[in-house]
Amino acid sequence: MSITVSVVPQTNNIGSFLHLLVLTGVGQGAAWSNGLNAGATAAPQISHASYSTNPMTVWMVCDPTAATVGTAATNNTLLYSYTGGTTCAEYNGYYSGNQVNGTSYTFGCSAPTGDKPVMAVCEFNSMCGTLVAPNSTTPAACVGLASGTTTMSITTNGQPPDGSVLVAMFAWKLSSGTAAAVTPTDNAGLGLTWTARSSKSYTTSGTYIYSAVMPTYRYEGPAPQHLPHTRTQARNRSALW
């Protein structure tokens, strides 16, 4: 069964983005989160020391000053982008290179350097220390909305694996007001709990990362046969042996 995740943009939205990652082999909670506010001109990137070996570190960027999609920094992978809003660009990605616990790495994009981006970053620990990539049930496109508060929805490419982590990554720019996070919803009917992992906002722009964990179902085998309770039953059973 595919799962649809939805987010309703804030009032006064003039450019919003939604994507969903499905991750396997990672811890259920973010090891660390960080971000970048648009108070100063800078490249949309963050340097931080990894908390584990070969985790999945994901990032979400909103550039409220130009419709320019970033250029992925070394060992980073740019996933999807949307530039249909009013003078803004929103895009997401992840660090695709190897990481060593305690070593600092640069996450995000090396360009543009003349804009004022807002960026959210978080790390999901690898459970076995091997490099993690998005699961094949990750949607192969993002959803963008040029304006308004129409619900944005995105659907997985089939049934996410048991125990996998769903990572909703979204952003928006507002014409006025203060950007703030909202909690995603889903149609899974499994009681998924969406938890904020990283969020950064600056006046009218914000970037947000939430996650939820698919339940793990345990197969219960047939009930064991009862041993005989009387001497007659025991004698009859022993005769069969």
Pick from 55, 91, 94, 57: nearest CA to 77: 94
> Please, which pLDDT band fits residue 187 given cuts at 50, 70 and 90?
very high
- 29 versus 127: which is more confidently predicted? 127
Q: Kindly state whether residue 231 falls inside one of the protein's structural domains.
A: no
Tokens representing 135? 């699961």
In sequence order, what are the beta bridge partners of 49? 104
**Cα angle for residues 215, 219, 225 (degrees, 5° grid):** 150
- 57 versus 229: which is more confidently predicted? 57
- pLDDT of 44 over the 90 cut: yes
How high does pLDDT run on average in the chain?
90
Domain that holds residue 196: 4-218
Tokens representing 190? 């499994």
Mean pLDDT confidence for 89-104? 96
> Please, which pLDDT band fits residue 226 given cuts at 50, 70 and 90?
low
For the stretch 56-95, pLDDT in tens is 999 999 999 999 999 999 999 999 999 999 999 999 999 9
CA terminus-to-terminus distance, the chain: 47
Say what the pLDDT of residue 153 is.
98
Cα 70 to the center of its chain, rounded Å: 19
Q: Kindly state whether residue 158 falls inside one of the protein's structural domains.
A: yes
Reduced to 3 DSSP states, what percent helix, strand and coil does the chain have, rounded to the nearest 5?
5, 45, 50
Q: Kindly state whether residue 38 falls inside one of the protein's structural domains.
A: yes
- 229 versus 197: which is more confidently predicted? 197
Q: Kindly state whether residue 224 falls inside one of the protein's structural domains.
A: no
* Cα gap 107→45, rounded to integer Å: 5
DSSP string, 51-62: SSSS-EEEEEEE
Say what the pLDDT of residue 232 is.
55
Q: Kindly state whether residue 241 falls inside one of the protein's structural domains.
A: no
* Cα gap 156→188, rounded to integer Å: 11
In sequence order, what are the beta bridge partners of 145? 16
In sequence order, what are the beta bridge partners of 137? none
Say what the pLDDT of residue 240 is.
47
For the stretch 111-165, pLDDT in tens is 999 999 999 999 999 998 889 999 999 999 999 999 999 999 999 999 999 999 9
Q: Kindly state whether residue 232 falls inside one of the protein's structural domains.
A: no
Phi then psi for residue 233, to 5 deg, are -65, -40
Pick from 80, 109, 85, 44: nearest CA to 179: 85
Q: Kindly state whether residue 223 falls inside one of the protein's structural domains.
A: no
Q: Kindly state whether residue 214 falls inside one of the protein's structural domains.
A: yes
8 A C-beta contact, residue 64 and residue 32: no
**DSSP code of 174?**
E
Number of domains in the chain: 1
Say what the pLDDT of residue 34 is.
82
- pLDDT of 214 over the 70 cut: yes
- Which stretches within the chain are classed as H helix? 231-240
Phi then psi for residue 234, to 5 deg, are -65, -40
* Cα gap 169→150, rounded to integer Å: 17
Say what the pLDDT of residue 63 is.
95
| Measured CA distances, 215 to 5, 25, 155, 192 (Å) | 16, 14, 18, 8
- pLDDT of 217 over the 80 cut: no
Tokens representing 45? 């990137």
